[in-house]
Amino acid sequence: MGNTSSSAVQKCLESALGSKDLVAFKDKPFFQLTDVKPYNLDIPITPAAVTYPKTTEHISAIIKCAVDNSLKVQPRCGGHSYANYGIGGEDNTIVVDMKNFQQFSMDKSTWQATIGGGTLLDDVTKRLHENGNRAMAHGTCPQVGIGGHATIGGLGPTSRMWGSALDHVEEVEVVLANSTVVRASEKENQDILFAVKGAAAGMAIVTEFKVRTQAEPSEAVLYSYDFHGGDAASKAEAFKQWQNLISDPELSRKFASQFILTEQFGAIVTGTFFGSQQEFDSLNISARLPSSSQKDNIEVKDWLGVVGHWAEDVSLQIVGGIQSNFYAKSLAYTEKDIIPDDAVDKLFQYIDTADKGGALWFIIWDLEGGAVNEVAPNATAYGHRNALFYHQAYAVNLLGKISDKTRSFLTGVNQVITDALPNHDLGAYAGYVDPALGENSASLYWGGNVERLQNIKADIDPLDVFHNPQTIRPTKKSAKMV
């Protein structure tokens, strides 16, 4: 690796793992392609090493190597971080790839599942299904890993019924910055469990989850209303009607919904109703939305079929699990943050006329609330217990770097909305990580939980070993406190 310190790191990691096959260094041929595998090609990063531990003891030893050589550590599961934080977000980090942590078991007396920290959501779905037709709330992208997803939020179509993915987590096994392995639950190490459920990337590496599960829904209706034609004004009217629908406090929690806007497909209202066709029809959703050029209701009784359909939605067809150059921004809306009609008109006019910089783009407004909001804001690190819906504005350039014009377009989308809601404190979802938030990111991601997280960080990771550009930093304790 070229110099004495790099050589020391290499020897330490090879010794820690007991095999040269379980670690790759930056002088390896095709290192970026075969080991780093950045999700966002717009942010080039070169880690010091990518490790592939097989045991918790391996992880403990990797962390000790990092500490002894003054290097930072970041775990990677699915590798879907928007800013490549799973590979550190900065050069010279040691990456701990969790792909070998695939353990699974089901306690059929409690229906609590044990899931390895390296499991992808596609496998989570299949393993729960195969062990008692069980399920848990999570997102729709099959290549996302539970290690990051269930420790940052983990929102998905069933969240209104069941809570977020992290709300299912009842116990974790983690490796701490001092290389010790501990378990955290409501009975022991409660602060660690609190921190892991929303801000784990800066706190510990989760090797195992114990999660509550739910019985799979017996049937579901997949629906979509497509508004292909029309100008900005007609799309704005469709959005106003959707926003009015989803802000109804009496709306069934079985109803999941998204408003998706793209240049290619126009406006689409789509989602899942977890019940029968008869129940869905009784909601009279069609009458509460503008007439569309195409209505498509499909009743699917097979749970795996429903989940498979989610993986084929419009947004995932555009980006999916493909590495690309992209940029994203998000906003969290509470029930008090309904966008006024005149601001909706202004927003859709802006989207229609703004220079996109040549990028493919889409914006998703995603209904949440329900069970997610029943958890107290200070019960977990996750900071948006009052969020009714989110938006994610996303742009991808298939030919190269994201241009300043494209970044300005997405920033402008958020600006129109925040200008219309000047007295509202709109947060951002940490799962849609946005490097441009800078010093404000912690309060936007974790709200009122930041100070407690900083104190926990000071207790369990005072040297800031688990670090990326937007992780929680430890409280600096004075000499009198020590």
Q: Do 277 and 313 sit in the same domain of this protein?
A: yes
What is the per-residue pLDDT for 1?
42
CB 282 within 8 A of CB 217: no
Q: Do 309 and 427 sit in the same domain of this protein?
A: yes
3-state secondary structure the chain: CCCHHHHHHHHHHHHHHCCHHHEEECCCCCHHHHHHCCCECCCCCCCCEEECCCCHHHHHHHHHHHHHCCCCEEEECCCCCCCCHHHCCCCCCEEEECCCCCCEEEECCCCEEEEECCCEHHHHHHHHHHCCCEECCCCCCCCCEHHHHCCCCCCCCCHHHHCCHHHHEEEEEEECCCCCEEEEECCCCHHHHHHHHHHHHHCCEEEEEEEECEECCCCEEEEEEEECCCCHHHHHHHHHHHHHHHCCCCCCCCEEEEEEEECCCEEEEEEEECCCHHHHHHHCCHHHCCCCCEEEEEEECCHHHHHHHHCCCHHHHHCCCCCEEEEEEEEEEECCCCCCHHHHHHHHHHHHHCCCCCCEEEEEEEECCHHHHHCCCCCCCCCCCCEEEEEEEEEEECCCCCCHHHHHHHHHHHHHHHHHCCCCCCCCCHHHCCHHHHHHHHHHHHHHHHHHHHHHHHHHCCCCCECCCCCCCCCCCCCCCC
Q: Do 314 and 378 sit in the same domain of this protein?
A: yes
CB 246 within 8 A of CB 252: no
Q: Do 116 and 133 sit in the same domain of this protein?
A: yes
Q: Do 334 and 201 sit in the same domain of this protein?
A: no
Q: Do 337 and 428 sit in the same domain of this protein?
A: yes
* Residue pointed to by tokens 């946005």: 434
The pTM assigned to this predicted structure is 0.94
Domain of 118, CATH number, reads: 3.30.465.10
Length reported for the chain: 482
What is the per-residue pLDDT for 444?
94
Domain of 237, CATH number, reads: 3.40.462.20
What is the per-residue pLDDT for 294?
64
* Residue pointed to by tokens 């100008």: 231
Inside any domain, residue 460: no
Q: Last residue of a domain, which of 436, 454, 471? A: 436
In whole angstroms, give the CA distance from residue 329 to residue 152.
16
Inside any domain, residue 468: no
Q: Do 197 and 62 sit in the same domain of this protein?
A: no
What is the per-residue pLDDT for 314?
55
**CA separation, residue 334 to residues 133, 151, 174 (Å):** 34, 22, 33
Q: Do 189 and 85 sit in the same domain of this protein?
A: no
Mark the ranges of the chain whose per-residue pLDDT is less than 50.
Answer: 1-4, 478-482
Q: Do 331 and 257 sit in the same domain of this protein?
A: yes
Beta-carbon contacts of 181 under 8 Å, excluding residues fewer than 6 positions away, are 56, 60, 173, 174, 175, 207
With CA atoms as reference, report the closest residue to 119 among 108, 103, 134, 130: 103
What is the per-residue pLDDT for 482?
32
In whole angstroms, give the CA distance from residue 274 to residue 254.
5
Q: Tokens representing 248?
A: 């109804």
Inside any domain, residue 227: yes
Q: Do 404 and 426 sit in the same domain of this protein?
A: yes
In whole angstroms, give the CA distance from residue 62 to residue 377.
34
Q: Do 158 and 285 sit in the same domain of this protein?
A: no
CB 31 within 8 A of CB 5: no
Inside any domain, residue 444: no
Domain of 57, CATH number, reads: 3.30.43.10
What is the per-residue pLDDT for 2?
40
Inside any domain, residue 398: yes
Domain extent, residue 79, equals 4-97
Straight-line distance from the first to the last Cα atom of the chain, in angstroms, rounded to the nearest whole number: 39
In whole angstroms, give the CA distance from residue 72 to residue 110.
39
Number of domains in the chain: 3
Inside any domain, residue 448: no
CB 135 within 8 A of CB 120: no
What is the per-residue pLDDT for 355?
96
Q: Last residue of a domain, which of 75, 97, 119? A: 97
Q: Last residue of a domain, which of 64, 97, 130? A: 97
Inside any domain, residue 467: no
Q: Do 89 and 114 sit in the same domain of this protein?
A: no
What is the per-residue pLDDT for 4?
43
Inside any domain, residue 336: yes
